[in-house]
């Protein structure tokens, strides 16, 4: 166990590399656990058959089309909370947390209702047909119910790491992932794969995978709400701060809407790519879906390091040390790229072994080997750009991060992949080569943009932004903070 002061990392002083490592490793572990339960879904669904795998593969980016809106909410929360923390403005940070929760609930419920209402035309637009269409509907309609809990889960994690406490966020992800992994086979399979004890197995297939996700998200949201209300983990959600604060809400929207557009651009690109892949049939779809889940390790690592970079950049801009903020960003980028080069080397060397973990179908494995051999070494460049985008978001420059998403995906990736696959007749390999070439190009564009340094101003207005004010005399602003709360 450790106190909140021990859990929270101050990135404004001391050696950058060890502090960045201590800030980043819980985020990497937490995101890997998140990826683990995505892989668990695919592992158990793969035991049902190729059509369920194809359905989940198509609906994964479709679900993220909606969930990605939370990117704007989390980016705004991290920017405001981290910069207030860096400036020593704890009450303003807590008020920003409360306003983030209000905005999150409103946006999430609206999106969930829209998605559920238009689920049939949406799945049809993606290109799902026949049994894959029916299975896709069974999966996605449960995922829409999970959206509000997913959004809250993301925002709770974001505000904890913005305050410098990444370990509590890690344990929250670990608990959610463990719940999902344990119940996945019970909901998906119709029989016990190990002990021939079938009474507990529901046989719900892809709908069971979605239900397991819903249950784990509800659990994580409830635990996250308890953590923030308790206040003993370094940042507190106070009921009196839940009154709408128009100034802070406007600031969250102003900082967050480019992040939301950024997330939508990413997810729409993923949906567009899924639509391109769908033109080549169920075997290519299944291979792509499994390969995508393995590739998610790359954005899991780079996303986590980017989140750490966002916290470090935000805290240092709040402390008015922009040169140190830049050093944090470049250190994080280099470390993430080295790790992803190593992971890509493993995927390149053992693609067949990795594919056969998830499915035994020879045609799917062969296509997956082709995918991994082509894209493996591009993951480092893709990840490096993600870290730089995280640094932009920590500075509150979500517009630059949004522009990079547009350039990398819509100006580079989708057009090049489509041209190589169809007019030039390269087929599925054209999609994979297009991804690789454009990932490298986009990284160098992002690095040049970041080096220009226009992001160093920050977003917290020291003079013009009203805060929540001090705690009233009868309230203890440190209530609960002295309780030990985080396991080492």
Angle at CA of residue 358, ends 354 and 362, nearest 5°:
80
The pLDDT of 283-308, averaged and rounded, is 82
Q: How many other CB atoms are there within 10 angstroms of residue 117's CB atom? A: 11
What would the pLDDT profile of 4-60 be if each residue is shown by its tens digit? 445 567 777 788 888 888 888 887 787 777 777 677 777 888 888 888 888 887 787
- 459 secondary structure, DSSP code: S
The Cα 486–Cα 335 span in angstroms is 27
Neighbours of 420 (CB within 10 A): 20
Model confidence over 168-189: pLDDT tens digits? 878 888 888 888 888 888 888 8
Kind and range of the H or E element at 127? none
* pLDDT tens, residue by residue, 396-427: 787 888 899 889 999 999 999 999 999 999 99
Which pLDDT belongs to residue 8? 64
Using CA atoms, how far apart are residues 353 and 376, in angstroms rounded to an integer? 14
Q: Please give the Cα distance from 395 to 11 (Å, whole number).
A: 14
User: pLDDT-based confidence at 472, cuts 50/70/90?
Assistant: very low
Examine residue 466 and state whether it is found in any structural domain, yes or no. no
Q: 342: pLDDT confidence band, cut at 50, 70 and 90?
A: very high
| Range with the largest mean pLDDT of 138-147, 245-254, 450-459 | 138-147
Query: What pLDDT is attached to residue 437?
Result: 95
Write down the pLDDT at residue 196: 56
Q: What is the pLDDT of residues 40-54, one digit of tens each?
A: 777 888 888 888 888
Give the whole-angstrom CA distance, residue 411 versus residue 40.
Answer: 34
Spatial contact of 328 and 253, defined as CB atoms under 8 Å apart = no
pLDDT over 70 (residue 319): yes
Q: How crowded is residue 79: how many other Cβ atoms within 10 Å of its Cβ? A: 33
- Over residues 51-74, mean pLDDT: 77
Distances (CA, A) of 357 to 33, 175, 291, 298, 485: 18, 24, 11, 18, 38
Cβ neighbours of 244 (radius 10 Å)? 10
273 contacts: CB under 8 Å, gap ≥ 6: 61, 413, 414, 417, 431
Those residues whose C-beta lies under 8 Å from the C-beta of residue 180, and which sit 6 or more positions away, are 37, 40, 41, 212, 213, 215, 216
Domain count, the chain: 1
Give the chain's mean pLDDT: 81
From its phi and psi, is residue 321 left (phi > 0), alpha (psi between -120 and 50) or beta? beta
Q: pLDDT band at residue 144, thresholds of 50, 70 and 90?
A: very high
Average pLDDT rounded to a whole number, residues 317-341: 90
pLDDT for residue 282: 82
- Range 329-344 average pLDDT: 92
Closest CA to 455 of 404, 379, 382: 404
pLDDT at 487 over 60: no
Instruction: For residues 290-296, give the mean pLDDT.
Output: 81
- In contact, 421 and 434? CB cutoff 8 Å: yes
Least confident stretch, 47-51, 207-211, 368-372: 47-51
Neighbours of 457 (CB within 10 A): 11
**Domain membership of residue 268 as a residue range:** 12-451
Does residue 273 form part of some domain? Answer: yes
What per-residue confidence (pLDDT) applies to 101? 83
Q: Is residue 479 part of a domain?
A: no
- Residues 58-67 have a mean pLDDT of 76
- pLDDT value, residue 233: 59
**Residue 442 pLDDT > 90:** yes
Looking at the domain assignment, is residue 461 inside a domain?
no
Taking the C-alpha atoms of residue 462 and residue 307, their distance in angstroms, rounded to an integer, is: 24
Q: Would residue 464 count as lying in a domain?
A: no
Give me the percent of the chain exceeding a pLDDT of 70.
Answer: 89
pLDDT exceeds cutoff 50 at 336: yes
- Per-residue DSSP letter, 412: I
Taking the C-alpha atoms of residue 136 and residue 256, their distance in angstroms, rounded to an integer, is 31
C-alpha distance from residue 421 to each of 70, 269, 270, 436 (Å) = 32, 16, 16, 13
Sign of the Cα torsion 224, 225, 227, 231 reads positive
CA distance 381 to 385: 6
Q: Provide the pLDDT for residue 474.
A: 37
* Burial (0-12, 13-18, 19+ Cβ within 10 Å), 131: middle
* pLDDT, position 195: 54
Give the number of C-alpha atoms closer than 13 A to the C-alpha of residue 482, restricted to the C-beta side.
4
The angle formed by the CA atoms of residues 392, 396 and 401, to the nearest 5 degrees, is: 40
The answer to whether residue 361 sits within a structural domain is yes
Using CB atoms within 10 A of its CB, is residue 447 exposed (0-12), middle (13-18) or buried (19+)? Answer: middle
How sure is the predictor about 471, in pLDDT bands with cuts at 50, 70 and 90?
Answer: very low
Q: Is residue 419 part of a domain?
A: yes
Specify if 259 maps to a domain: yes
């Amino acid at each position: 166990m450790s106190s909140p002061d021990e859990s929270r990392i101050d990135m404004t002083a001391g050696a950058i590399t060890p502090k960045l490592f201590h800030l980043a490793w819980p985020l990497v572990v937490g995101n890997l656990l998140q990826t683990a339960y995505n892989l668990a879904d695919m592992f158990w669904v793969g035991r049902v058959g190729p059509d369920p795998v194809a359905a989940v593969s198509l609906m994964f980016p479709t679900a993220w089309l909606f969930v990605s809106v939370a990117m704007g909410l989390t980016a705004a929360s991290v920017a405001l909370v981290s910069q207030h923390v860096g400036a020593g403005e704890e009450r303003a940070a807590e008020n920003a947390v409360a306003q983030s929760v209000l905005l999150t609930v409103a946006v999430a419920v609206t999106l969930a209702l829209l998605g559920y209402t238009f689920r049939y035309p949406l799945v049809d637009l993606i290109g799902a047909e026949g049994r894959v269409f029916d299975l896709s509907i069974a999966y996605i309609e449960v995922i829409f119910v999970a959206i509000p809990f997913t959004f809250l889960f993301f925002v709770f994690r974001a505000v904890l790491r913005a305050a410098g406490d990444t370990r509590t966020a890690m344990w929250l992800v670990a608990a959610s992932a463990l719940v999902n992994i344990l119940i996945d086979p019970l909901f998906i399979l119709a029989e016990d794969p190990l002990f021939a004890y079938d009474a507990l197995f529901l046989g719900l297939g892809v709908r069971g995978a979605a239900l397991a996700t819903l249950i784990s998200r509800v659990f994580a949201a409830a635990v996250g709400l308890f953590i923030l209300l308790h206040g003993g983990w370094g940042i507190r959600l106070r009921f009196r701060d839940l009154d709408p604060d128009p100034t802070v809400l406007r600031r969250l929207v102003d900082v967050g809407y480019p992040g939301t557009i950024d997330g939508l651009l990413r997810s729409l690109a993923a949906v567009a790519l899924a639509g391109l892949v769908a033109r080549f049939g169920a075997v290519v779809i299944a291979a792509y879906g499994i390969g995508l889940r393995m590739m998610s390790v790359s954005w899991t690592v780079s996303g986590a390091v980017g989140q750490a970079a966002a916290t470090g950049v935000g805290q240092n801009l709040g402390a008015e040390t922009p040169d140190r903020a830049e050093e944090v960003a470049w250190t994080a980028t280099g470390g993430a790229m080295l790790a992803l080069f190593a992971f890509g080397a493993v995927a390149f060397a053992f693609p067949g072994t990795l594919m056969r973990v998830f499915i035994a179908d020879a045609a799917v494995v062969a296509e997956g080997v082709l995918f991994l051999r082509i894209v493996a070494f591009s993951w480092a460049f893709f990840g490096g750009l993600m870290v730089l985008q995280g640094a932009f978001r920590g500075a509150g420059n979500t517009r630059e991060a949004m522009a990079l998403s547009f350039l990398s995906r819509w100006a580079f990736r989708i057009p090049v992949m489509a041209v190589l696959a169809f007019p030039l007749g390269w087929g599925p390999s054209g999609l994979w080569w297009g991804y690789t070439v454009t990932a490298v190009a986009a990284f160098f564009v992002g690095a040049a943009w970041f080096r220009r340094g226009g992001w160093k101003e920050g977003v917290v207005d020291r003079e013009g932004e009203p805060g929540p004010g001090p705690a009233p005399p009868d309230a203890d602003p440190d209530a609960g903070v002295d309780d030990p709360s985080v396991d080492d």
